[in-house]
Chains A and B, each alone.
Chain A
Amino acid sequence: MDACRRVKTSGPGRLQDEGGFALAMAVFALVLLAAVVAGGYFTASQEFQIGRGMRSLATSFYAGESGIHEVLHDWDPSVINFLAPGGTLSFGPKTFEGGGSYNVQLVRVGRDADSLKRYFYIEAVGRPPGPNLGERRQAALARARFPTFCCDAAVKVHGDVTLAPANQPQIVGTNDDPPGAWSSATCALYPPDSLPGLRYGSSTTIDELSAISGWPSAVVLDPSITRSNMFDFGDLDYDSLIAYADLTFDVGVGNTMTFAGSQPSVTASGKCNRDDPDNWGAPEDPSHPCFNYFPIIHVTGNLVLVGAGSAQGILLVGGRFENDSDARFFGPFDFYGLILTKDDLEMDGTGNLYGAAFVAEDLEMDNVKPRIQYSRCAAMRALRLSNLTRPRLLSQRAWVELF
């Protein structure tokens, strides 16, 4: 190139270009190079854009799917199950680490306000990070079901009933709602009714009938009651109830667990903390977020409820196969809901059971003024606000990707 250039001085310190094509060649080469780079960049850019688009779509899809499952997981039966038909709730936006986010809208779809099965349409919109890039929609149909297995007496018992009259025990089947510390407003959804105080099997002996009251009669003999069908509730049984348990205390057969009363707690966001094993609801504090929390509690061994505490829920005492797990009230403990025990129910003190009990073996009420008071309100709230009413996706074709 230098050979093609002629340069002469026309004065001190000045250079004059006389011609040549080095500059033109350099420009041409640069243009070529730019074309190559631009082509490569275009190709790479296209691939990058496509890849980013695919990733955005995948992020949107999984964000939306997470939204549906989070709504199902965080289901609050006391709110969602009681939406009126056509009622709507919104959840989100929630953004995940990494940028995906979702918005979920839930709609109660159904005809009857008091239907025992309730359908919910849950629609989620998933979005990737960035403005409106690759939004995807999906939906699922879920159904909540209100169980109907309770109750046909304040106590259903298979074994013997021991009521020491000197201790003034009471088994009351007639209505006395609202129970304990609850108000009439709490029980407004559940008109009271009355039942027999005791429903018992053919092998049962009862030492004292005067302590039992109910309607239309204090006691009812039910020859169909056996040890094996005691917890046969149609679609549900004891084992399937265990599968719904919120809290499980695996103390082991023959071992005894003592519980001195619920200690309701809340999460950082102010919601009832359902992961706290000491939280068995807040039955005596209507303003507490856990007032509507009725956990299903499973204890595999013996359980003693001690002191002046209280709790609520559905209490399952005993393992799947063992028959030697007792539930025992010791002191002025109040329980609101249902108690199902694989062995005995003993009430030794001034405690109260508001709701109903299913006792596979013996019922013993010792010491002073123990009471079992049937409460439709307590039983229904325990059933309808418990995990049993959490929705399940409909079988086979619940999930759909929307267009």
Chain B
Amino acid sequence: MKSRRPRPAGGFTLVEVLVAMTLTGIVVAGTLRALSAQKKFYARQARILDARHAMRAATTILASELREASPGGGDLYAVAADSVAIRSTVGFGVACAVNEAAGQLALIHVSGHFRLDAGDSVVVFVENGEPDSDDAWRALGVSAIGTTGPACAWGTPSERLISVSGSLNGVWVGGPVRLFRAYAYAPFQLEGRWWLGRRDRSEPDYVPVAGPLAPPDSGGLQFFFFDPNGNTTLNPSQVARVSITVRAPTYRSLSDPAYQSLSTSAYLRN
């Protein structure tokens, strides 16, 4: 008869379990630490991205507005170190038929926001006589805008018909027409944060168009205006180039916000 030897019971010794638990703890702690660091990293990256988005948006809007302005034509109403008031083009067209008696212009090559509700204004190129020296632009109030009008002088259909209050004497077929609104851009505070704000010059309140930006005392929005000779100027009619610098917070902590900044230059085309 054979005697059977009992098999040793399976399992871990206490030492093995302790070693395993210690190692697992170290791995888990390291993992959590890594995850936490990653979370902070992502959050910071997200804040940096948000700041960059805000700065890009602000500089793009401002550069686009300024690029089209005519300083000599009075499109810059006022300029300051952190604000600008501007005649902003919101619509464009070419006069293709002029009815001086009725005060109506038929337009073609229309672009932008020719809303059908009146209340906007236009500047119209006035040819006057033969010399170039009597060329001018005339600002007129818009009393009505329609989508149907007389055909253009060369027979093609017009795209808009605008009725204006004011004389169309001297306006030639082919002259450009710009629909504009008077806007002011400046930093303003909303719910504890600073934004690039825009307001109609006839209205007191700003609406945010980009941000949040750094507070004014931290250089959230800075304009530098230059004349044709490259000298800084605050004379609106002398501006040829504008340098725009914006700063936006990335908030390393609420008490210690870090800032990113972005600068761009816009040459005034007109």
Interface residues of A (CB under 8 A from B): 3-4, 25, 28, 32, 35-36, 39, 43, 46-47, 50, 54, 84-86, 107, 109-111, 116-119, 121, 123, 137, 139, 141, 145, 148, 234-235, 394-403
Residues of A within 8 A of B72 (CB): 395-396
Q: Are B19 and A3 in contact (CB under 8 A)?
A: yes
Given contacts A50-B53, A107-B109, A401-B68, 14 further A-B contacts (CB under 8 A): A28-B31, A35-B38, A50-B52, A109-B94, A109-B108, A110-B174, A111-B173, A123-B109, A139-B109, A141-B125, A141-B176, A397-B73, A397-B178, A398-B270
Q: Are B270 and A32 in contact (CB under 8 A)?
A: no
Q: Are B109 and A85 in contact (CB under 8 A)?
A: no
Q: How far is the CB of B38 from chain A (nearest CB, A)?
A: 6
Q: How far is the CB of A4 from chain B (nearest CB, A)?
A: 7
Q: A139-B109, A234-B131 are in contact. Are A109 and B156 (CB under 8 A)?
A: no
Residues of B within 8 A of A400 (CB): 68, 89, 92, 111, 176, 178
> Which of A43, A85, A86, A118 meets B42, CB within 8 Å?
A43
Which of B147-155, B199-207, B219-227 has 4 or more CB atoms under 8 Å from chain A?
B147-155
Interface residues of B (CB under 8 A from A): 16, 19-20, 27, 31, 34-35, 38, 42, 45-46, 49, 52-53, 56, 64, 67-68, 70, 72-73, 75, 89, 92, 94, 96, 108-109, 111-113, 123, 125, 127, 130-133, 135, 137, 152-156, 172-176, 178, 269-270
Chain A's closest residue to B70 (CB) is: A396
Q: A43-B45, A117-B127 are in contact. Are A403 and B73 (CB under 8 A)?
A: no
- Can you spell out 13 A-B residue pairs with CB atoms less than 8 angstroms apart? A28-B31, A32-B31, A32-B34, A36-B38, A43-B45, A109-B94, A109-B173, A110-B153, A123-B109, A141-B94, A141-B176, A397-B70, A402-B92
Q: Are B156 and A86 in contact (CB under 8 A)?
A: yes
Q: Are A397 and B137 in contact (CB under 8 A)?
A: yes
Residues of B within 8 A of A121 (CB): 94, 109, 174
Q: A36-B38, A397-B178 are in contact. Are A109 and B132 (CB under 8 A)?
A: no
**A35, A107, A118, A145 pick with most chain B CB within 10 angstroms:** A107
Chain B's closest residue to A53 (CB) is: B56
In angstroms, Cα B108 to Cα A123, docked, is: 13
Q: 4 nearest interchain CB pairs?
A: A119-B174, A86-B154, A109-B174, A85-B154
Q: A86-B156, A123-B109 are in contact. Are A397 and B173 (CB under 8 A)?
A: no
In angstroms, Cα B124 to Cα A141, docked, is: 13
**Mostly helix, strand, loop or mixed at chain A's interface?**
mixed
**Mostly helix, strand, loop or mixed at chain B's interface?**
mixed
Q: A43-B42, A47-B49, A396-B73 are in contact. Are A139 and B92 (CB under 8 A)?
A: yes
Residues of A within 8 A of B123 (CB): 397
Residues of B within 8 A of A85 (CB): 153-154
> Which of B20, B113, B155, B176 meets A86, CB within 8 Å?
B155
Q: A109-B173, A403-B112 are in contact. Are A235 and B133 (CB under 8 A)?
A: yes
In angstroms, Cα B52 to Cα A395, docked, is: 37
Q: How far is the CB of B223 from chain A (nearest CB, A)?
A: 20
In angstroms, Cα B64 to Cα A137, docked, is: 13
In angstroms, Cα B123 to Cα A216, docked, is: 48
Residues of B within 8 A of A139 (CB): 92, 109, 111
Q: Are A397 and B125 in contact (CB under 8 A)?
A: yes
Q: How far is the CB of A119 from chain B (nearest CB, A)?
A: 3
